[in-house]
Structure 1
Amino acid sequence: MNFKSIFKSALPHLVSIVAFIIIAFIYFQPALEGKVYKKGDSINAWGGKKEIIDFRNDTGEDPLWTNSMFGGMPAYQINVDYQAKDMYFFKQIMELHTPDPVRYLLLYLIGFYILMLSLRINPWLSLAGAIAYAFSTYFIIIIGAGHLWKVNALAFIPPALGGILMVFRGRYLWGGLLATFFLIMELYSNHVQMTYYFVIMVFCIVIFEFYHQLKQKNLAHFFKAIGVLAIASIIALGVNFTNLYNSYDYTKSTIRGKSELTLGDKDNKTAGVDKDYGT
């Protein structure tokens, strides 16, 4: 394959990326003037983690505790210097080093574009699909609200799904690599609620694929795909294990853990949050 043919095949994708950049900057034009969103949750988060960051900068140690939230609490879900933070470098590549909030829109656009391509959809239709996904009303609202980890999670779900679907289509190597990388990034986004919904969707896909391959009498392919995805999942969990385990362990001491109190409506009690709260 010569340079001319490589360029010809890559041209639609280059055009799409340039289009994404132009669209994102047009929509967030004030960013070109140095203006930024006053994202409520982000401002509160900086207030909560400043004491932790100052202590780390002064001592070189991770405190794992802060006195600036409530009457003092663990720092697990506020700011901890996990090794998985190195994955932030790859996120910056996808963001093309663009300013806030342009970069979040680019994550939406590029992530969904990858999913569309993995479904063998024409690049130009993939471009249109990515724009439709990125400009879903709620997705824009949560950028302004500062729900940025949820933004990241919603951006990485589509390409992770694309890798999974590629594996089920028999592209074990490239699909497995794509699934592994974006599953890592999805878990790195640290929004378990979005990951929970994603897992439900993947579970439905697995059931369908099992039924389909059973009818085709091709269960060998199904189990091979499951093996590849199991490896991808184990790697993703391994990279993010420290944060996930600390979150799980800390959950027992929060309202999401079992309560020692028995007052109130016993029928409303569960092993975690009350039914009224959960619904």
Structure 2
Amino acid sequence: MTAGDDADRAGRDPAPAVTRSIRLLEVLAEARRPLTLTELATALGLAKSSTANLCLALEAARMVDRAPQGYRLGLRTAELGGAFAAQFNQVREFYAVCDASEVLRGELVQVALLDGVDALYIARHEGAQSLRIGTPLGSRLPAALSATGRALLSTLDDDAVVALLGPGAEFPALTENSPRTLDELRERLARARERGWALDAEESFAGIVGVAVPLEGWAPGDPQLALGVGIPAAEASDERVTTVAAALQAAAHQLTNPFSAAAGRG
């Protein structure tokens, strides 16, 4: 076999049907609404007949559902998402630790991990507050703008942050308070490291103040996580923010110590 043959084989997709199926699921996830067969075929750059075959296979596996308006993600995707989160001990213990906390049991608390330059939300504790913000499970926010993302970035040194985001990184203006440059982000990360918790002062959602802390992995190979709470800006007094931050730090301490977590359940 020649070097040219090796290069040709390396450049070929070893499983094009799998790749196309994954892309189809991504398109449905990004759309957040049912898509017709024509819309899916256009997005994938495939013939409608090929797209229909993919949909049939994915429907049989419950990865997609056929609705009157078109195709949407199926229940199996939710099951797999839950299984992904549940493989980490900390996520399994997270709900009990929140319920045992006098502060956090009434708050909307989320768990996120770093996925590229985004904070990806993988678990959510629904507290007694009526607050509902736009970060359902599986959604993401730019790490530079969200409290959970900054808590994750604060575990890296500045050189690693620049390497991850890029030396000329500029961030979208999600609100009028959003930082736009690396220098602005570095200032916020420096304050987060000093305090031990990160703050999002209406920088990812107008009207929402975020507070978050980093959560070290429980077992070797576990990802770096972060715990965060969203507070309505009108209720985000300095006292409440510091109280929530302290409760998150206590929860993070429990969730990095299996014996403490077990005691919290008892």
TM over 0.5: no
More helix by share: 1
TM-score, scaled relative to structure 2: 0.29
